[in-house]
């Protein structure tokens, strides 16, 4: 389990590939078990372990929070740009996914292997590359043992790990993940027509949040919120409902190289600030400014994350207090400086929660990726999914 240390606190390194997040879940449980059994010998505290991840790493955090096998192995969680999508089941097709077993059989056939033994005889590098080229998605699977239920269901039932949580997302997530969003349509009329057709009684609320006045920004924001924004707020809401401290953030920090490239607050752009690793980014990464102001900002961000890992409360020297989400729907806005705020993007959570609920109720529709112009027609309202969508 690789990690990065800051101020003497070890923080789990983000895992960026979805397949890594799913395939290594049992490895992660085993690693956490090893930490619990052995970390005291290295001067660590087995009762004070924080799991942290970004993107697919944050999906791992959610998997670990819902898996009974990981219960008691960690005391806090950090989920950066998590996405609480629907998950395949092991033996049955559900929520728009084939069963995990069927997906495996399909992959075996595509790889022209006769059985599981032959697959296991392939080298790890070969099967990983070949599976990726064939479009195989190595998601987790709801098997009733490692993952007992859909992530949304576990959190709805309050059966997740009762640990303090820090979660958030980036304003420009989709600026660096553009294939996740549909292309801009020919006109505003086309856009509005499709949305009204797909979202029916929720179309007015949708168009208020994502208007046709700036199609590109609205399309990016639609996907950002359905995947990352809704998930972040859902996580802290559900933890707060258990009486557990939870902290929400929105990352909206820009800098010249990123903004010039049209990638303001892009996916994962918080990581060099969290880990104080301006010099560790790849050549393709928009270069972080080597200025006193940026380093001071990174110091504040690192303090918040490190102190949360250490104490369960995100605090920073010479920076404002980060209020817990519970009482006033509070969050921290990381823009030019950290600024406490309230009521993140009014209406965003309610719309996406209602869409998820209606799709889940059918048992045959997925949620998360197919939104906006790519959305199927929304099922009608039901008693189960009668949550009103705020219009304020």
Q: What is the CATH number of the domain that holds 56?
A: 3.40.50.1820
| Same domain as 133, residue 53 | no
Q: Decide if 152 contacts 356 (C-beta within 8 A).
A: yes
| Same domain as 227, residue 158 | yes
| Same domain as 18, residue 122 | no
Per-block average pLDDT, block size 10, for the chain (392 residues)?
A: 38 36 78 97 97 96 98 98 96 94 92 93 89 85 96 98 98 97 98 98 97 98 98 98 98 98 98 96 94 97 98 97 94 98 97 97 95 97 72 41
**CB proximity list for 101: less than 8 A, separation 6 or greater:** 90, 91
Count of residues for the chain? 392
Give the DSSP letter string of 120-176.
Answer: HHS-HHHHHHHHHHTT------B-SSSS-S-HHHHHHTT-S----EEEEEETBGGGG
Q: Which domain holds residue 116?
A: 98-138
Report how far residue 192's alpha carbon sits from residue 185's, in angstroms, rounded to the nearest whole number. 10
85-98 b/e (C-beta count within 10 Å ≥ 16 → b): bbbbbeeeebbbbe
Q: Tell me, what's the pLDDT at 136? A: 84
| Same domain as 158, residue 244 | yes
* Residue of 331, 333, 351 whose CA lies nearest to 343: 331
Report how far residue 170's alpha carbon sits from residue 178's, in angstroms, rounded to the nearest whole number. 14
Asked if residue 68 is part of any domain, the answer here is yes
Report how far residue 102's alpha carbon sits from residue 90's, in angstroms, rounded to the nearest whole number. 9
Q: State the sign of the Cα–Cα–Cα–Cα dihedral 373, 375, 380, 386.
A: negative
Report how far residue 22's alpha carbon sits from residue 97's, in angstroms, rounded to the nearest whole number. 15
Asked if residue 126 is part of any domain, the answer here is yes
DSSP state at residue 68: G
Asked if residue 361 is part of any domain, the answer here is yes
Q: Tell me, what's the pLDDT at 1? A: 28
Q: Tell me, what's the pLDDT at 256? A: 97
Residue 315 exposed, middle or buried by CB count within 10 Å (0-12, 13-18, 19+): middle
* Residue of 212, 197, 246, 237 whose CA lies nearest to 353: 237
Q: Decide if 250 contacts 169 (C-beta within 8 A).
A: yes
* Bridging pattern class, strands 330-334 and 338-342: antiparallel
Report how far residue 332's alpha carbon sits from residue 342's, in angstroms, rounded to the nearest whole number. 8
Asked if residue 104 is part of any domain, the answer here is yes
The model's pLDDT over 84-102, given as tens digits with 9 standing for 90+, comes to 999 999 999 999 999 999 9
| Same domain as 369, residue 331 | yes
| Same domain as 274, residue 157 | yes
| Same domain as 223, residue 169 | yes
| Same domain as 117, residue 46 | no
Q: Tell me, what's the pLDDT at 388? A: 56
Q: Decide if 95 contacts 54 (C-beta within 8 A).
A: no
| Same domain as 182, residue 153 | yes
Integer-rounded Cα radius of gyration of the chain = 21
| Same domain as 303, residue 177 | yes
Q: Give the count of domains, the chain.
A: 2
* Bridging pattern class, strands 165-170 and 76-80: parallel
Interaxial angle between packed helices 188-199 and 215-224, expressed in degrees from 0 to 180 and rounded to the nearest 10:
30
* Residue of 178, 226, 230 whose CA lies nearest to 372: 226
Residue 156 exposed, middle or buried by CB count within 10 Å (0-12, 13-18, 19+): middle
| Same domain as 150, residue 39 | yes
Q: Decide if 177 contacts 209 (C-beta within 8 A).
A: no
Domain end call among 107, 138, 169: 138
The kind and range of the H/E element at 9 are strand 9-12
The model's pLDDT over 152-188, given as tens digits with 9 standing for 90+, comes to 999 999 999 999 999 999 999 999 999 999 999 999 9
| Same domain as 102, residue 86 | no
């Amino acid at each position: 389990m690789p990690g990065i240390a800051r101020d003497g606190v070890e923080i789990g390194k983000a895992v960026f590939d979805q397949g890594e997040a799913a395939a290594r879940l049992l490895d992660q449980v085993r690693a956490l078990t090893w930490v619990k059994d052995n970390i005291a010998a290295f001067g660590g505290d087995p009762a004070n372990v924080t799991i942290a991840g970004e993107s697919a790493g944050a999906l791992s955090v959610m998997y670990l929070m819902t898996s009974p096998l990981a219960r008691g192995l960690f005391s806090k969680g950090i989920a950066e740009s998590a996405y609480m999508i629907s998950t395949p089941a092991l033996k049955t097709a559900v929520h728009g996914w084939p069963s995990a077993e069927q997906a495996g059989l399909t992959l075996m056939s595509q790889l022209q292997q006769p059985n599981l033994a032959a697959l296991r005889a392939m080298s790890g590098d070969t099967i990983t590359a070949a599976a990726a080229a064939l479009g195989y998605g190595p998601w987790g699977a709801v098997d009733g043992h490692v993952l007992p239920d859909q992530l949304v269901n576990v959190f709805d039932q309050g059966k997740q790990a009762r640990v303090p949580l820090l979660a958030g997302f980036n304003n420009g997530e989709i600026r660096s993940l553009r294939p996740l969003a549909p292309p801009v349509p020919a006109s505003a009329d086309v856009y509005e027509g499709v949305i009204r057709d797909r979202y029916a009684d929720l179309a007015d609320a949708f168009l208020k949040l994502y208007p046709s006045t700036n199609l590109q920004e609205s399309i990016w924001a639609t996907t950002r919120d359905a995947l990352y924004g809704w998930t972040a707020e859902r996580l802290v809401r559900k933890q707060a409902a258990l009486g557990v401290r939870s902290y929400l953030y929105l990352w909206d920090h820009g800098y010249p190289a990123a903004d010039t490239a049209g990638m303001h607050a892009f996916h994962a752009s918080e990581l060099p600030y969290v880990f104080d690793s301006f010099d560790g980014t790849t050549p393709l990464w928009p270069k972080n400014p080597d200025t006193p102001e940026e380093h001071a900002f990174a110091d504040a961000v690192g303090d918040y994350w490190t102190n949360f890992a250490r104490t369960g409360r995100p605090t920073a020297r010479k920076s404002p207090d980060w209020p817990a989400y519970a009482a006033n729907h509070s969050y921290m806005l990381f823009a030019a400086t950290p600024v406490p705020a309230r009521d993140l993007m009014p209406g965003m959570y309610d719309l996406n929660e209602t869409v998820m609920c209606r799709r889940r109720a059918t048992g045959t529709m997925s949620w998360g990726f197919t939104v906006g112009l790519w959305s199927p027609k929304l099922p009608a309202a039901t008693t189960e999914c009668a949550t009103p969508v705020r219009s304020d």
